[in-house]
Amino acid sequence: MTIAASKPSQPTPVRTTSTVAASPASPSTGTPWRAYVPLWLASAPAFMLFATLVFVPLAMTLVLTFYRFDPSSGPIAAFQFGNYVEVVGSPYYQTIFARTFAIAFVTTVACVAIGAPEAYVLSRMRDPWRSLFLLAILAPLLVSVVVRAFGWSMLLNTNGLVNQAFALFGLGPFKLEYTSFAIVIALVHVMLPFMVIPVWTALQRLDPQTEQAALSLMATPWVTLYRIVLPQVMPGILSGSLMVFGLSASAFAIPGLLGGRRLKMAATAVYDQFLGSLDWPLGATIALLLLAANLAVMLTYYRVLERRYARSMG
Amino acid sequence: MRRNGPLALAFHTLVILFVLAPLAIVVLVAFTPDETLTLPTHGLSLRWFRAILNYPDFIGAFFNSVKLAFLASTLSLTIALPAGLAIARARFPGRNFLNALMLSPLVIPGLVLGIAFLRFFAVIGATGSFAWLVIAHVVIVTPFVLRLILAAASGLDRSVEHAAFSLGASAWTTFRRITLPMILPGITGGWLLAFINSFDELTMSIFVTSPQTVTLPVRMYMYATESIDPMMASVSTLVIAISAAAMLLLDRIYGLNRVLIGNH
């Protein structure tokens, strides 16, 4: 099915006839399908691997959500909606989903509040500093999330540095570890680059003369920032927040290490079902509901903001 | 261009502190001579680095991870290079679909891929197989390789190839002597980025590794949920060092800002 969909026999213009070594470009309509054969051959291994390993496992997971689970013998093939009823109906999972989306929302807001101004400050720096600090903010992307979660658990535990700092002012100690607060802080740390990157990219495209023009027309710096710069970087903030929200809602390592055994998010609940109680059908149901809810939230958000954004620009 | 005011610079300093603090503290604690994770530490010691050597779980997991990352990024490059060149340089039926398909692991959460692979491997009887773990990692690292190959190949000046052709070079010679050297930074950069991502990957791997094929991040996650002692910090420090080394290399070869931000 997918093969047929990707390789329709309708030929369209082809620019090169060979993949590796190019012959001079000769755009011609009605290219014989033979011209595509080298291209298809070059793409075939990747296509077959991805078609098999993306669609088949996802389809199997969807099928699994309709299975029945028997504690003594494992998943039993069936077609019933018991798992969905159980997840949607139980207060336990309702709480987990509500917490997951609340945490993802707060993380997104915090990332906008920190990441967007930081990208702007960075864009106004001069060059050794600018590249250096941009690197400092983006490089943690390439350090394992387990390491970063562990770092936060050391900073936030009862006798960690944050509480020691509070103690200097005669405050605390506060219980910071194993709280939603700890999860949000660590998630913001992990997600910040995903906000800085698109805002930075949008700022690079910004014409500095628009800012100059506003200032020369006696706009204050704040008005310039709000009326000139902000609307132009809004697409970057939008795509950054979509990314941050989606990744936060399905985050696993941070809630796993900083939420402890009690404070579950959807991803850690899925993990418990799969590797703890071995109820794969229920775990798969939670995961697919998470994916669906995530998509729904992101699409709604995108629609609403796109409309508002279009209005403010029009 | 206007300068940043003192308020902006204060904000910036706080952000940088926030970003670097958890990594800095891990490195500091790793050198503690003490029995427990306390700060401030009393002096410096390498005892927790030596402790790793007596803990075969981490050593085994480290070699698993290196082997896995090496095989996955190499295999990924092998399939993504021809497909990426085809996508970058020609229009053909299925081109857009193939491109979207190969980038799709970026938008499917690791959690969902993890359980999907777990189920798939259980059905085909491949649970705990290292070879299938490599293939699962190929799927998640290929988008990174593909992006860098596409960027390198689409920025290529085709007239150089045409010159080689017109001077009588064969297709293979043109590829080997002209095209390949020109896209080499993209290829090596993509390979390294794939290596780092595979080496760091946790969420998908935790579902599909067995005790024999367990990777370093999975082992570290397990260790951190069970016991917290300074060995976790020393292992983390080594991971940071390896990531930093890979980053420096990536920066030399391709430019780190270009890898992380794209279009620059």
Asked if residue B38 belongs to a domain, the reply is no
Mean pLDDT score, A285-313: 81
Record: contact B228-A153, CB cut-off 8 A = yes
Single-letter amino acid, residue A174: F
Identify the band that residue A56 occupies on the pLDDT scale cut at 50, 70 and 90.
very high
Per-residue pLDDT band for B152 (boundaries 50, 70, 90) equals confident
Structural contact between residues A194 and A240, judged by C-beta atoms closer than 8 angstroms: yes
Backbone angles phi, psi at A28, to 5 degrees: -145, 140
Residue B7 lies in a domain: no
In which band, very low, low, confident or very high, does the pLDDT at A76 lie, cut at 50, 70 and 90? Answer: confident
A2 burial (CB, 10 Å; 0-12 / 13-18 / 19+) is middle
Count CB-CB contacts under 10 A for residue A269.
23
Determine, yes or no, domain membership for B31: no
Return the number of CB contacts < 8 Å for A and B: 302
A276-289: average pLDDT: 91
Confirm if B147 and B193 have CB atoms less than 8 A apart.
Answer: no
Q: Do A54 and B92 touch (CB under 8 A)?
A: no
Whether residue B182 lies within 8 A of chain A, CB to CB, comes out as no
Choosing among B199, B260, B263, which should be mutated to test the A contact, i.e. which has the most A CBs within 10 A? B260
Nearest CA in chain A to B109: A250
ipTM metric? 0.88
Confidence of residue A77 (pLDDT cuts 50, 70, 90): confident
Q: Enumerate residues 6+ apart whose C-beta is below 8 A from B246.
A: A142, B192, B195, B196, B199
pLDDT, greater one: B40 or B227: B227
Q: Is the pLDDT assigned to residue A41 strictly greater than 60?
A: yes
Give buried/exposed letters for A51-71 (b at 16+ CB in 10 A, else e).
bebbeebbebbeebbbbebee
Question: What angle in degrees, to the nearest 10, is found between the helix axes of B56-89 and B216-226?
Answer: 140
The band of B41, judged by pLDDT with boundaries at 50, 70 and 90, is low
Residue A313: its pLDDT value, please?
A: 52
Whether B157 has its CB under 8 Å from any CB of chain A: the answer is no
- Using the CB atoms, write b or e for B97-135: b if 16+ within 10 Å: bbbebbbbbeebbbbbbbbbbbbbbbeeebeebbebbbb
User: Is there a contact between A124 and B1 if contact means CB atoms under 8 Å apart?
Assistant: yes
The helices-and-strands tally (H runs, E runs) of chain A is 15, 2
Q: With an 8 Å Cβ cutoff, are A136 and B19 in contact? A: yes
- CA–CA separation, B250 vs B132, rounded Å? 28
Residue B1 lies in a domain: no
Say yes or no for a CB contact (<8 Å) between A252 and B111: yes
**Nearest Cα residue to B192 out of B105, B106, B138, B253:** B253
User: Is A222:B15 a contact under the CB 8 Å cutoff?
Assistant: no
Could you give the C-alpha distances from B222 to A146, A260, B2, B61, in angstroms and in order? 10, 13, 49, 12
Give exposure, A231-256, as e/b (b: 16+ Cβ within 10 Å).
ebbbbbbbbbbbbbbbbbbbbbbbbb
Query: Rounded to an integer, what distance in angstroms lies between the CA atom of residue A24 and that of residue B163?
Result: 10
Do residues A138 and A197 make contact, with C-beta atoms less than 8 angstroms apart?
A: yes
The answer, for A254 touching chain B at a CB cutoff of 8 Å, is no
CB of B101 within 8 Å of a chain A CB? The answer is yes
- The answer to whether A22 contacts B256, with C-beta atoms less than 8 Å apart, is no
| pLDDT over 70 (residue A101) | yes
Residue A28 pairs in a beta bridge with A14
When pLDDT is cut at 50, 70 and 90, the band that residue A225 belongs to is confident
Mutate which of A23, A36, A144 to disrupt the B interface (most B C-beta within 10 Å)? A144
Model confidence, pTM: 0.86
| Mean pLDDT of the region B58-80 | 94
Contacts of A41 (CB under 8 A, 6+ apart): A19
Chain A within 8 Å of B27 (Cβ-Cβ)?
no
**How confident is the model at residue A21, as a pLDDT?**
41
Nearest by CB to residue A256, choosing from B112, B221, B243, is B221
Q: What are the residue ranges spanned by the domains of chain A?
A: 2-64, 92-313
Q: Can you give the pLDDT at residue A311?
A: 61
**The amino acid at A300:** T
Average pLDDT over residues B18-30: 90
Q: Calculate the CA dihedral of residues A97, A99, A102, A108 and round it to 10 degrees.
A: -90
Can you tell me whether residue A302 is helix, strand or coil?
helix
Q: What is the phi/psi pair of residue B233, to 5°?
A: -70, -40
Helix/strand/coil for A155: helix
Answer yes or no: are the C-beta atoms of B113 and B45 closer than 8 Å.
no
pLDDT band at A30 (very low <50, low <70, confident <90, very high): low
Cα-atom radius of gyration of chain A, to the nearest Å? 25
Asked if residue B144 is part of any domain, the answer here is yes
**Which domain, by its residues, includes B251?**
55-261
Fold of the domain built from segment(s) A92-313: MetI-like fold (1.10.3720)
Task: Work out how many domains chain B is built from and give that number.
Answer: 1
Length of chain A: 314
Q: In terms of pLDDT, which residue wins out, A254 or A162?
A: A254
Residue B105: inside a domain, yes or no? yes
Query: How many residues does the structure list for chain B?
Result: 264
Q: Does residue B9 belong to any structural domain of this protein? A: no
Predicted confidence band at A43 (pLDDT cuts at 50, 70, 90)?
A: confident
Beta carbons of B12 and A247 less than 8 Å apart: no
Residue B66 belongs to some domain of the structure: yes
Q: Does A245 touch chain B (CB under 8 A)?
A: no
